[in-house]
């Protein structure tokens, strides 16, 4: 992916340089080791906590990777994009309150830059349904760090004035010198503009974790973080990894979940976004945590969950969120419009009678079975 060189116009020379994301709805099953190492199959397993959730890493190898390798990578990602870490890079960007000058930093970890570039691409593909500048709306509706107050049309409209991945509202670009990356610069059209990568960061994280394994020559592995999963090769039985997708039962928890189907996943990522576990109820109406960046209001299209299989975790994670915004019919239209993306999708929608309807693309149905 080509990275853009800086091209800001009309900005003063007085620049400042600062150097220095749904409850889990998928679970891995099959090919699992008991304990940390199954000697018979060569299966290694790492379990831990990160990004406000849990992770599981399984791979076939006689050599066990030090836990610190994964822990350090996850901590690095947190330092860049966690909204819950006061001094994270993203919070530094969000706290920048100048519109007459730029916020600059050296993106030495290459986390923020690639996430922004991927977000721009996905924003264009989904016609704005995926948009990380939605952060102020997430806060307005009480799904971030803030409590929800009285929210009406005027409050939504006032925030919508600075939402959007367009240069005059929020822009990020890179400066090069002699063809090499030098620094990254952020410009805000409104001091209140802010980023939230929660709808793509965990998918991107599992991609990076899998890359650690790939670089060590590991061919068969499964990485799961907060329900976002990427699989490579096969499990210990030589079969595709088996990933279970939850039924969209309102009020269900990790302890009492039930499965809708089991999906065979090989050399792909699978991620789910859902509205049935995280919502506010206002005057008897359920307000989904999925905010439509185009309207500023919680999505209300009847879609309960969207599960996406894609080539990368970042794509699957982000598009699952975008499809929750678009709804079932627009998602089907998207799949028809972009067959080259190689997506397979499962949609579960409110049937209006207290139950739900299930639709899956042909490719998804071909690798799915009853639990």
Maximal CA-CA distance, the chain: 65
131, 126, 130, 128: which is closest to 331 by C-alpha?
A: 126
Clarify whether residues 295 and 359 are in a common domain. Answer: yes
**Structure tokens given for 79:** 């330092």
Q: Strands (DSSP E) along the chain, which ranges?
A: 16-17, 26-29, 37-38, 43-50, 53-60, 103-105, 170-177, 180-188, 221-225, 228-232, 241-246, 259-265, 268-274, 279-282, 285-288, 303-310, 344-350, 356-360, 368-369
Average pLDDT, stretch 25-50?
Answer: 61
Clarify whether residues 108 and 52 are in a common domain. Answer: no
Average pLDDT, stretch 114-118?
Answer: 97
Clarify whether residues 364 and 257 are in a common domain. Answer: yes
Domain stops at, among 141, 168, 188: 188
Domain stops at, among 188, 220, 247: 188
CA distance 79 to 281: 33
Clarify whether residues 60 and 181 are in a common domain. Answer: no
C-beta separation of 81 from 112 below 8 A: yes
pLDDT at 287 over 60: no
How many CB atoms are located within 10 Å of the residue 202 CB? 29
Q: How many domains does the chain have?
A: 2
* Confidence category of residue 10, pLDDT binned at 50, 70, 90: very low
2, 10, 17, 30: which is closest to 244 by C-alpha?
A: 30
Q: List CB contacts of 16: < 8 A, sequence separation 6 or more.
A: 98, 101, 102, 103, 104
Report if residue 10 sits inside a domain: no
CA distance 128 to 212: 32
C-beta separation of 144 from 196 below 8 A: yes
CA distance 285 to 265: 37
CA distance 368 to 205: 25
Q: Strands (DSSP E) along 106-160, which ranges?
A: none
Query: CA separation (Å) from 137 to 151, 249, 297, 302?
Result: 10, 26, 8, 20
Average pLDDT, stretch 244-257?
Answer: 73
pLDDT for 8: 35
pLDDT at 11 over 60: no
Q: What is the CATH number of the domain that holds 127?
A: 3.10.520.10
pLDDT for 308: 98
Domain region containing 70: 26-74+200-369
Model confidence, pTM? 0.87
Report if residue 4 sits inside a domain: no
Clarify whether residues 241 and 254 are in a common domain. Answer: yes
**Structure tokens given for 255:** 């302890």
Q: List CB contacts of 165: < 8 A, sequence separation 6 or more.
A: 119, 120, 123, 128, 131, 132, 133
Report if residue 65 sits inside a domain: yes
Domain stops at, among 164, 188, 212: 188
What are the tens digits of pLDDT across the range 334-366?
999 999 999 999 999 998 888 899 999 999 999
Average pLDDT taken over every residue of the chain: 86
Beta bridge partners of 184: 105, 174
C-beta separation of 269 from 315 below 8 A: yes
């Amino acid at each position: 992916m080509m990275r853009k060189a800086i091209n800001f116009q009309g900005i003063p020379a007085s620049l400042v340089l600062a150097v220095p994301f749904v409850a889990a709805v998928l679970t891995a099953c099959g090919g699992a080791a008991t304990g940390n190492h199954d000697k018979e199959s060569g299966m290694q397993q790492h379990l831990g906590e990160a990004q406000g959730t849990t992770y599981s890493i399984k791979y076939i190898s006689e050599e066990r990777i030090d836990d610190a390798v994964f822990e350090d990578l996850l901590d690095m990602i947190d330092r860049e994009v966690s909204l819950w870490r006061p001094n994270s890079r993203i919070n530094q960007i969000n706290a920048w309150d100048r519109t007459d000058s730029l916020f600059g930093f050296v993106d030495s970890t290459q986390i923020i830059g690639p996430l922004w570039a991927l977000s721009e691409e996905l924003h264009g593909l989904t016609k704005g349904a995926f948009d990380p500048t939605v952060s102020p709306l997430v806060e307005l509706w009480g799904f971030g760090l803030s409590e929800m107050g009285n929210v009406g049309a005027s409050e939504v409209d006032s925030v919508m004035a600075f939402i959007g991945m367009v240069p005059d509202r929020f822009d990020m670009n890179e400066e090069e010198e002699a063809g090499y990356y030098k620094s990254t610069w952020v410009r805000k059209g409104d001091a209140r503009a802010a980023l939230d990568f929660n709808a793509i960061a965990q998918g991107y994280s599992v991609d990076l974790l899998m890359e650690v394994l790939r670089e060590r020559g590991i061919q068969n592995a499964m990485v799961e973080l907060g329900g976002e999963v990427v699989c490579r090769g096969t499990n210990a039985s030589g079969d595709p990894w088996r990933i279970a997708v939850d039924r969209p039962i309102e009020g269900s928890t990790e302890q009492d979940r039930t499965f809708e189907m089991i999906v065979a996943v090989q050399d792909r990522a699978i991620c789910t976004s859902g509205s049935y576990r995280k919502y506010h109820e206002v005057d008897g109406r359920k307000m989904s945590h999925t905010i439509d960046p185009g309207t500023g209001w919680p999505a209300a299209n009847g879609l309960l969950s969207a599960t996406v299989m894609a080539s990368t975790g970042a794509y699957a994670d982000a598009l699952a969120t975008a499809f929750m915004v678009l709804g079932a019919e627009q998602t089907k239209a998207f799949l028809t419009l972009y067959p080259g993306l190689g997506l397979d999708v499962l949609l579960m929608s409110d049937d209006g009678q207290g139950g739900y309807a299930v639709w899956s693309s042909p490719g998804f149905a071909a690798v799915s079975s009853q639990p």
